[in-house]
Structure 1
């Protein structure tokens, strides 16, 4: 088996254990699958994230443990024998229902990483639908083909066009697609870091990495985050998708999640090259979108990108993680005041935030705001999960996932304002409730004095 990802981290997994159950084929990938100990923890009713697809179906094959059993059969098969169509179909359906929430990686006793295993599985498949290829490349296409934004607006206005897109691409006509902002986030004045390499390092210098979805759809999030960081006294280097005129800088998350590993690796390498000088100076790399920033911290390590990826991962932090860490320092100051919000705020966590324990950082940062009251929503995946909830065959599953905790909590407090850092989560909430969530950066910026002058991009 020619694996597309680097699974060497599992090279010693199960060695010398006669009961490890490592499949015959697949090398270190097979060892990553075999970390499951069949405890059944993923199939019990519980709090937390794991496992959204099992929770709504109660089908053991749609649990992490069920996927492992099917994967082991697949990896134990004789490569020369005719494929078993029933096994192939069962495995395809099981992997298709996985929303790559990473709940199993955090909550499983063995830290089974089905999200990454799914990316490898998809990469091994020969065919990919037009829809998946389109959605995987959407950030790049929206920058290179601006007329696509107009097409999205037309599709949202014309039910007939929405039905045609549903029929031929499998993007559900039941949803209004997110529309890019009139103007993407792109600072007018930006000095590229490589040309400042020799100059003295300013005190408290950080990097704000603005991913394509934030830049295209939620530019105010980036502007507010920049205001917050500068108000706290940091010199901010801004890296955004158009920081290099000949490239569209992206983490590669959309490509990776669809199994397009080589294009994702190329995007990762481009971003690492731009970030290299900042990594050299040990500047924190701060991200706003959980799935994009955590791609730098986790998935880049599986792409075989060497020391550059490892060093970048060590310096990559979510916006809330960075502020929570800095707030513990004696010289940290942010002139936060009571904000103009309906209280209590409802806080919904992105699955990847939960998977890395970042909700504790959210709580700590929100407590910095005087007189602010907030409640955390106890829920599993919202169901959107990247593009999962857009897809015609998954829309009912996606809505059922939202009903596991998120939507009942929102209905219980119909007038509450919502905070959700994940782009897909916010979109799902807006579609199902008609309410527009804020990002943590919006909350903090709303509690600060307005900037006295235009932002200066250091």
Structure 2
């Protein structure tokens, strides 16, 4: 087998002494990770109203379920060492996996098909089985920083049916969906925020927090970062920011989510090591690392553990929290002291990102939303929105992306057409805007808009 790019050693004892494990002949610990499936069939329940599995739910095709993909993988890993990398049936099945992590949350044995797919894509890349489009999506945030003219190109493409048609035919980009357009100016620290960053003493302090601003937030929604700073500052915290352009060397600091999702594991590891080095002083002082974008930030306590980044990665996983998780925990601990005005927006709809659901962070969302007096909340019971990173932007997935959105998300939006929508996920928010023209709020923005006493020196001034 081609070298494995991820560390699968956590599965080394999987199936030992279990006559039903059916571990394939090839693949080592990777094969054991596939073999955690016990064929219970929970992933193939048509009436499953939970997260798992979007591609199966819209198709009713067993090969498009986690269990079906496992059976394909097992067969091919038994047949020969690397035939699974070129098998067309497996490629078609994994192509429809949206890496939502529903299986990791809801499968009895926590099958991680998203990680299995990442390894599969990485090994295919090693064989040269990759596309220009995959590189485009993988490097998307980095190219936007380096080539500012791309911002205008995206706007021209969205406004021109001719450019949409050209993009669909040449690169395979879905011509029915606008590409997300970057903000006029990416997030940058204000002078006041720079001063706060430089004032950190290097000592442990429960009222100091690092806000790690990912590239998607910084490029597309910098206001989410400034709103989060305002909320945390109003609650009494000293906020230190780390963002893509923090590194003085010019190397962009980011989690590497887009690289990882497209199978560029070596590049993702490079990004991970640079980010870990920047966060190392704060981890040594046991400062919490808070993030705003679920798919980007949750890498720090999930995929980073498989990327062999060094011993510090365990501490990073332990100290990394989503914004809503941090606020909920700090409120319970009696340290979060911001006051909020009663709601002025009636009922809000809340759509959770798949990775938020996979780690149980929706519970934290519920707790934090209760901080706003008289706020009425309606949580949308939906699986994947259908955008799933770049999935919905790919031409061949146009119909399935829309079908996923139509399962529950779009009907819920249409039932309450005037309700504000709270959504922390970048791709989810874009899907909602692209299909319904409604711009969701990040939870941080909703909270900032209801602060009784804004921070005395807002970070964005």
Q: Into which bin does the TM-score normalised by the smaller protein fall?
A: over 0.9
Which residue in 2 is equivalent to 1:10? Answer: 11
Provide the C-alpha distance between the structure 2 equivalents of 1:455 and 1:445, rounded to a whole number of angstroms.
11
Contact 1:100–1:385 at 8 Å: present in 2 too?
A: yes
- Alignment partner of 1:105 is 2:104: yes
Q: For 1:8-407, what aligned pairs fall within 5 Å after superposition?
A: 8-44=9-45, 45-79=47-81, 83=83, 88-125=87-124, 126=127, 127-189=129-191, 191=194, 199-201=202-204, 204-245=207-248, 246-341=250-345, 343-407=346-410
Q: Deviations over 1:78-118 (max 9, x none)?
A: 349xx589x81110000000000000000001100000000
- Does the CA-based 8 Å contact 1:192-1:243 persist in structure 2? no
TM-score normalised by length of structure 2: 0.95
Name the CA distance, whole Å, in 1 between partners of 2:270 and 2:335.
40
What is the aligned partner in structure 2 of residue 421 from structure 1? 424
Measure how far apart 1:421 and its partner are: 0.3
Q: For the residues of structure 2 that align with 1:15 and 1:434, how far apart are their CA atoms?
A: 52
3-state DSSP of counterpart to 2:311: helix
- Give unmatched runs, 5+ long, in structure 1: none
> How many pairs does the alignment contain?
453
Q: 1:400-432: CA deviations, max 9, x gaps? A: 001111111111111111100000000000111
User: What's the CA shift for 1:182?
Assistant: 0.5
Instruction: Tell me, in whole angstroms, the C-alpha distance in 2 between the residues paired with 1:234 and 1:358.
Output: 22
In 1, are the aligned partners of 2:340 and 2:371 still within 8 Å (CA)?
A: yes
Say if 1:202 and 1:27 are closer, same or farther in 2 by CA, change over 3 A: closer
The separation in 2 between residues aligned to 1:271 and 1:62, in whole angstroms, is 35
Supply the distance in 1 between the matched residues of 2:51 and 2:172 (Cα, whole angstroms): 27
User: Secondary structure, in 3 states, of the residue corresponding to 1:61?
Assistant: helix
On the 8 A contact 1:418/1:438 being kept in 2, the answer is yes
**2:375 alignment partner, SS class:** coil
- Tell me the TM-score normalised to structure 1 length: 0.95
Q: Post-superposition shift, 1:188? A: 3.2
8 Å CA contact 2:206, 2:287 repeated in 1: no
* Aligned-pair CA distance for 1:317: 0.2
Decide whether the 8 Å contact of 2:230 with 2:455 is kept in 1. Answer: no
Q: CA deviation at 1:449?
A: 3.7
Please give the alpha-carbon distance, in whole angstroms, between the structure 2 residues aligned to 1:410 and 1:198: 47
- 1:174 is displaced (CA, Å) by 1.0
Query: In structure 2, what is the Cα distance between the partners aligned to 1:333 and 1:272?
Result: 30
Mind listing any 5+ residue stretches in structure 2 that lack a counterpart? Answer: none
* Alignment partners' CA distance in 2, 1:370 and 1:101: 33
Relative distance call for 1:200 and 1:110 in structure 2 (3 A) is closer
1:249-272 deviation per Cα after TM superposition (whole angstroms, max 9, x unaligned): 110110101111000000001000
Answer yes or no: is the 8 Å Cα contact 2:273–2:309 preserved in 1: yes
